Amino acid sequence: MRLYHYTDAKIEKIDMNKCDGWWMTDVAPWDDFDFDGEMGAQGSRYVVVCEIDYDNLEVYVGGDHESVSAFCEEESVDLIENRWDGYTDYAVANPDLVRIVEVLENKWRD
């Protein structure tokens, strides 16, 4: 499954020492979508294009989770999936589950 991570930093390797979870969304930067109001991705300079092997992961669907690593450990899951109005976001605590395909400059956003 191809997903997207929006950021101000050019990230080529996920460093979990700098975050509690790696959040991604199914909304591509070229999609017609309200990034500012819905996702808070306004002004994101880069888009990290990621791939995950969704079919082979233990997935928890629902809710918003502040502590991704603690939640994944408590629920014995690999991936958190949150379905919102018009998009879905995903979070992992294990960076080995994510393959970074490429890092794009976000020319689709102001």
How far is CA 20 from each of CA 4, 65, 74, 85, 95, rounded to the nearest angstrom?
Answer: 17, 10, 14, 25, 11
Whole-prediction pTM value? Answer: 0.87
Number of domains comprising the chain: 1
How far is CA 55 from each of CA 1, 32, 89, rounded to the nearest angstrom?
Answer: 9, 27, 16
User: How many CB atoms lie under 10 A from the CB of residue 57?
Assistant: 16
Reported as a pLDDT band with limits 50, 70 and 90, residue 87 is confident
Task: Report the distance separating Cα 86 and Cα 83, nearest Å.
Answer: 8
Is 110 part of any domain? no
Q: Work out the percent of the chain whose per-residue pLDDT is above 90.
A: 56
Is 9 part of any domain? yes
Is 23 part of any domain? yes
- Token pair, residue 9, equals 């930093």
Q: Provide the residue range defining the domain that includes 63.
A: 2-105
pLDDT at 97: 97
Is 75 part of any domain? yes
